[in-house]
Amino acid sequence: MIRRHEPVQVIVGFAIGVAAMLAVKAWSTRLDRAGTADSGRRSRVAAELGQAGVGAVRALALIAGLSLLIVAGTLCGLVAVRLLPEPLVEVALSFGIAALLFLVTEQLLVEAHEVKETLAATAAFFVGFLAFLVIGMLE
């Protein structure tokens, strides 16, 4: 992405990635609110399946199936990188950057938040990151 110095594709992919992650977050928040009273409690996947009454064999099959989705996604990404034209690869890679950055900042570091996160604060972070990325590309 940085080698080609084409910030338009990067901006488009990054913006789509942030929008998609915000949509997923809103959807999951809505599901949590509609769920049971203990939906705010976080536990391991297998433990949640056991608590839901799912048998051990079925739980193992579900976890294995989800793991295979990672392999399938990797293969799809490999095919896409090889077959798509370079501008679309840049869009896809910048989408991935936004998704991974969102995962790190919004999910893995959620305990580090001292104040309630807002959409404006999240947007400011991603706009700032994108600005520095584009400045680095134009340098």
User: Domain coordinates of the chain in residue numbers?
Assistant: 7-32+45-138
Q: At 74, which amino acid appears?
A: T
- Digit-coded pLDDT (tens) for 76-124: 888 988 998 988 888 988 998 999 888 888 766 665 666 677 778 778 8
Tally Cβ neighbours within 10 Å of residue 130: 20
What helix, strand, coil percent values describe the chain, rounded to 5? 80, 0, 20
Q: Is the pLDDT of residue 9 over 70?
A: yes
- Digit-coded pLDDT (tens) for 10-69: 899 999 999 999 898 888 888 878 775 444 444 457 677 777 777 888 888 888 998 999
The CA distance from 113 to 122, in Å, is 12
HSE-up of residue 135 (Cα within 13 Å, Cβ side): 6
Strand, coil or helix: 64: helix
Q: What confidence score (pLDDT) does residue 42 get?
A: 47
Residue with tokens 């090889």: 82
The CA distance from 89 to 103, in Å, is 21
Note if the pTM is more than 0.85. no
Which residues fall within 8 angstroms of residue 130, CB to CB, at 6 or more apart?
Answer: 10, 11, 14, 15
Q: What confidence score (pLDDT) does residue 37 get?
A: 47
Q: What confidence score (pLDDT) does residue 110 get?
A: 64
Q: What confidence score (pLDDT) does residue 107 get?
A: 67
Which residues fall within 8 angstroms of residue 13, CB to CB, at 6 or more apart?
Answer: 90, 91, 92, 93, 94, 95, 97, 98
